[in-house]
């Protein structure tokens, strides 16, 4: 399963945030395929469409979909001693599919900052530079040989050398690999390099309790937003401390507490949705009277593969998928009405499933 790693300098609030994540944690009985690991937090993906479908269908049971955050800080604790981020840290980042970088945007004199003052941009650059240096090392290890073979007219090596040189240029100016524009062919070469800075990133601005309702006055957040905008990255504002409290609540209680705080959606819920999408994940639904359920697929997956998310038999015996978009279904009011309105399509093996599709698979056993 794809996972988003939580990283950041010491004392920025990673553990507090991860604690909120495990606190909010999904009921693992519903997700037997998920990892049991103290450094992994399973979260349910908040999705208003699931509530809406539940109202329409009135099933016995509603099951959200889930995914995993990995706490890189927790893995690192004790594993790497001494200065710097350490090789362990880097190897753990290598294993995640997207990076959520927590940055400290709260001033608190009682909590030491590693570099002496709160400076989110310098924090971001410290981590990003470390990752760039690690990637530079990977590139340098290969570029000499690739260049030599390229000169001997080896086609694959020529392609590799071209990509490595582009990366080297980027790293020399402290730019991450994800900022380089590659063709699809080049991207295949890049994939083999297992780079750290090719992974998509979002920034989690951790603000104080006072700023959570209206972070616009927080100049640290402004700076993070400006920085992130330059690399087309998203910024999620949270107050990790309050998220810990919110995570203990559910349903109406949670709603009331959020209203008291003056926020519409908890920072953690926003983070979950943003990380999900950063991982390239999307959701389709099944909606029967027994169960209304959200399922995760990777954007670009076709109908049989999506059926396989439920069970491998569904993929093997796939015939067709009755498909209606969430919007069409809601507009029609119920499944039969949608059918009568001609909104239920019969999709075959080549159909690329879309976010929000409501699907009923037909398959041979
Ligand atoms: P980590 O080293 O990045 O895992 O940081 P921790 O989660 O351990 O947090 C470091 C310190 O900052 C702890 O004393 C937390 O209570 C405090 N802290 C974390 N988040 C917040 C926050 O949103 N507001 C305030 N005031 N303190 C926080």
Domain of residue 324: give its range.
300-363
240 lines ligand 1 (CB under 6 A): yes
Same-domain pairing of 69 and 137: no
Q: What is the CATH number of the domain that holds 313?
A: 3.10.20.30
Which one of 240, 261, 267 would you pick to mutate in the ligand 1 pocket, going by the greatest count of ligand atoms within 8 A of its CB? 240
Q: What is the DSSP letter of 302?
A: B
Q: What is the CATH number of the domain that holds 186?
A: 1.10.150.300
Q: Which residues of the chain have pLDDT under 70?
A: 27-29, 32-36, 75-86, 114
Same-domain pairing of 187 and 203: no
Tokens representing 309? 């998310």
Q: Classify residue 161: in a domain, yes or no.
A: yes
Q: d(Cα 243, Cα 204) in Å, to the nearest integer? A: 13
pLDDT confidence of residue 79: 47
Same-domain pairing of 245 and 335: no
206 lines ligand 1 (CB under 6 A): yes
Q: Which of 191, 212, 229 is the last residue of a domain?
A: 191
Same-domain pairing of 80 and 212: yes
Quick one: how far is CA 359 from the chain centroid?
24
Q: d(Cα 330, Cα 205) in Å, to the nearest integer? A: 36
* Residues 347, 296 contacting (CB under 8 angstroms): no
Asked if residue 14 belongs to a known ligand binding site, the reply is yes
| Index of the ligand 1 atom closest to the CA of residue 108 | 26
Same-domain pairing of 208 and 323: no
Q: Classify residue 121: in a domain, yes or no.
A: no
Same-domain pairing of 105 and 132: no
- Burial category of 151 from C-beta neighbours within 10 Å (exposed 0-12, middle 13-18, buried 19 and up): exposed
Same-domain pairing of 106 and 151: no
pLDDT confidence of residue 33: 64
108 lines ligand 1 (CB under 6 A): yes
Q: Classify residue 55: in a domain, yes or no.
A: no
Same-domain pairing of 140 and 172: yes
Q: What three-state secondary structure class fits 311?
A: coil
Q: Classify residue 54: in a domain, yes or no.
A: no
Q: Classify residue 10: in a domain, yes or no.
A: yes
324 lines ligand 1 (CB under 6 A): no
Q: Classify residue 31: in a domain, yes or no.
A: yes
Q: Whose CA is nearest to atom 24 of ligand 1?
A: 208
Q: Which of 138, 165, 191 is the last residue of a domain?
A: 191
Q: Classify residue 9: in a domain, yes or no.
A: yes
Q: What is the CATH number of the domain that holds 24?
A: 3.40.50.300
Q: Whose CA is nearest to atom 25 of ligand 1?
A: 208
Rounded distance from Cα 193 to ligand 1 centre (Å): 35
What are the pLDDT digits (tens) for 117-166? Answer: 789 999 999 999 999 999 999 999 999 999 999 999 888 999 999 999 99
Q: How far is CA 38 from CA 25, 75, 277, in A?
A: 12, 9, 24
Q: Whose CA is nearest to atom 19 of ligand 1?
A: 13
Same-domain pairing of 97 and 8: yes
pTM: 0.90
What are the pLDDT digits (tens) for 221-234? Answer: 999 999 999 989 99
Same-domain pairing of 32 and 97: yes
Region of 78 on the Ramachandran plot (φ > 0 left; ψ -120 to 50 alpha; else beta): left
| Index of the ligand 1 atom closest to the CA of residue 16 | 7
* Residues 198, 129 contacting (CB under 8 angstroms): no
6 lines ligand 1 (CB under 6 A): no
pLDDT confidence of residue 32: 67
Same-domain pairing of 232 and 343: no
Matching residue, tokens 């604690």: 19
Q: Which of 144, 173, 191 is the last residue of a domain?
A: 191
Q: Classify residue 56: in a domain, yes or no.
A: no
15 lines ligand 1 (CB under 6 A): yes
Q: How many domains does the structure of the chain reveal?
A: 3
Same-domain pairing of 100 and 204: yes
| Index of the ligand 1 atom closest to the CA of residue 17 | 7
């Amino acid at each position: 399963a794809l996972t988003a790693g939580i990283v950041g300098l010491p004392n920025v609030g990673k553990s507090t945030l991860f604690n909120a994540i495990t606190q909010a944690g999904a009921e693992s009985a519903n997700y037997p395929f998920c990892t049991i690991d103290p450094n992994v937090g399973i979260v349910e993906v908040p999705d208003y469409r699931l509530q809406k479908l539940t109202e329409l269908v009135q099933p016995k049971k509603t099951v959200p979909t889930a995914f995993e955050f990995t706490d890189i800080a927790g893995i690192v604790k004790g594993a790497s001693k001494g200065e710097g981020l350490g090789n362990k840290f880097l190897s753990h980042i290598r294993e995640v599919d997207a990076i959520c970088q927590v940055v400290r945007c709260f001033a608190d004199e009682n909590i030491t900052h590693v570099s002496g003052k709160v400076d989110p941009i310098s924090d971001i650059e410290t981590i990003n530079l470390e990752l760039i240096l690690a990637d530079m090392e990977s590139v340098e290890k290969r570029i000499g040989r690739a260049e030599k073979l390229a000169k001997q007219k080896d086609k694959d090596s020529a392609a590799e050398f071209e990509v490595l040189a582009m990366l080297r240029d980027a790293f020399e100016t402290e730019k991450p690999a994800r900022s380089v524009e590659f063709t699809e062919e080049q991207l295949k070469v890049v994939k083999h390099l297992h780079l750290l800075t090719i992974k998509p990133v979002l920034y989690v601005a951790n603000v104080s309790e006072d700023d959570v309702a209206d972070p616009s006055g927080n100049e640290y957040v402004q700076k993070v937003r400006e920085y992130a905008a330059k690399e087309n990255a998203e910024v999620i504002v949270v107050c990790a401390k309050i998220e810990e409290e919110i995570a203990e609540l559910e349903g109406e209680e949670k709603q009331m507490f959020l209203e008291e705080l003056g926020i519409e959606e908890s920072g953690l819920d926003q983070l979950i949705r943003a990380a999900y999408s950063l991982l390239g994940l999307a959701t389709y639904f099944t909606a029967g009277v027994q169960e209304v359920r959200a399922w995760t697929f990777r954007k670009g997956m076709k109908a049989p593969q999506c059926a396989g998310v439920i069970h491998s038999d569904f993929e093997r015996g796939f015939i067709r998928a009755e498909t209606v978009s969430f919007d069409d279904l809601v507009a029609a009011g119920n499944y039969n009405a949608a059918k009568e309105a001609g909104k239920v399509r019969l999709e075959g093996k080549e159909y690329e499933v879309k976010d929000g599709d409501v699907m009923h698979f037909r398959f041979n056993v």
